[in-house]
Structure 1
């Protein structure tokens, strides 16, 4: 099972998970044209799309995908917020099978109607991935994880130094996005014995620091490859 990050920032989010036969798109926060340009597989070969929430940097071309006949999954709250009647609605902890890939939705914590994260399992290889972006924290525990793609948006000290950013915006960020200490603390609660790669998602260009974050995670999780998703 391979994870392809196509875009990961407030400008747009899109990621593909593939087992070589089945291709799943996580997030549709690019224009259809840009998605086609960045995708390692033709859009016609995307078997399903899973959206975490209604913000346009995650759902920009969701309607276009529905119009093309791609099954697009999300929570009921997200579907209502997007006014997307063609969406396939999931419940938290519900599982959907797409080819050999099994996708389970779980609750996350963001300033949106009903945000989800997803756990993806390759039923052939038994690889398991946790995917969660735009969430202030997490409570979910997925056993047997082999790969993790997790929001790591900012460091609080860097956010505090942004003198031109209004305090109310800083507080909104703190209430809706995951800070580096929170991400580290959450990961330490998990069984990481099978985890080979941790991807850091949605890093802020203003209050994140790729070099510092990479050093911190490599120190905290020795033996696990750490990768930072680029914009």
Structure 2
């Protein structure tokens, strides 16, 4: 599995991931020309783009990617919020409450699962190769969620948000750097180190080889504390993006 961080955080999220024989973009929240440049102008080598929700730091380039011939996958709620349509738009078919059917994309099984964010129909993703491959690979991608509604599935690589550390965020409020309204909006929409720790304690990490930590806030997080805490808890290599 190969992972390249093209952008992360509020300035724009985009990750190039090769799983099995497929090459995906997870999110496209950078300007299209910047994505082109970061891909060495080989956009046609991308098999599909998966988008979690409609905020521009996650979906800015979706229309241009579709025009370039890239299939873009998302929930129906996200597509409606973005106001997009066309044969390159692929929406997941919902069933029951907060669960979705899996899709088969370029030799992969892709299963979206519900995230907790202030948008239309946000999701995270579980991605794995077909079992027919000699070596099965799996990836879990989680971003922009207040907490984990479901147990993190067993996987080889975990890419997950850790937006803030609660003590740092509260200190920002005390020092007058952010107001209580913004503080509460962050808490309702993003994953803290404390919530991530609880999710990791409940997860089966026996197969996990690497944890990529995404979407850190510049002012409300502490990279050193986050990396040390996760690494000591899990014993897994941690990469701060």
Q: TM-score range by the shorter chain?
A: over 0.9
Note the C-alpha offset of 1:164: 2.1
How far off is 1:94 after superposition?
Answer: 1.7
| TM-score between the two structures when normalised by the length of structure 1 | 0.94
Unpaired segments of 5 or more residues in structure 2? none
User: SS at the partner of 2:4?
Assistant: strand
Match of 1:178 in 2: 191
Residue 214 (str. 1) matches residue 221 (str. 2): no
Alignment correspondent of 1:228: 240
Match of 1:145 among 155, 162, 171: 155
Partner of 1:70: 70
CA distance in 2, matches of 1:140, 1:213: 22
Change (3 A) 1:218 1:144: closer
Q: What secondary structure, in the 3-state scheme, does the structure 2 residue paired with 1:186 have?
A: helix
Over the residues paired in the alignment, what is the CA RMSD in angstroms? 1.5
What's the CA shift string for 1:13-49, capped at 9, x where partnerless? 0011113632111101001111122237821111111
Contact 1:52 1:58 in 2 (8 A): yes
Aligned residues: 228
Contact kept? 1:119, 1:142, Cα under 8 Å: no
Q: Secondary structure at the match of 2:13?
A: strand
Contact 2:8 2:215 in 1 (8 A): yes
- SS of match in other structure, 1:65: helix
User: Distance in 1 between the 2:6 and 2:208 partners?
Assistant: 22
1:80 and 2:80 aligned: yes
- The match for 1:121 among 103, 124, 128 is 128
| Structure 1 partner of 2:171 | 161
Structure 2 counterpart of 1:131, from 138, 141, 160: 141
Cross-structure match for 2:8: 8
Say which SS state the counterpart of residue 100 (structure 2) adopts.
Answer: coil
Closer, same or farther in 2 for the Cα pair 1:152/1:83, shift >3 Å?
Answer: same
Alpha-carbon offset, residue 98 of structure 1: 1.9
Q: Which residue does the alignment assign to 1:33? A: 33
The CA deviation string for residues 96-119 of structure 1, in whole angstroms up to 9 with x for no partner, is 222222211111100111001111
Cα distance in 1 for partners of 2:61, 2:74 equals: 14
Compute the displacement of 1:122 (Å): 2.0
Which of 70, 95, 101 does residue 94 from structure 1 map onto? 101
- Runs (4 or more) in structure 1 with deviation over 3 Å come to 141-144
SS at structure 2 position matched to 1:161: helix
Runs of 5+ consecutive residues of structure 1 not aligned to the other structure? none
Corresponding residue for 1:49?
Answer: 49
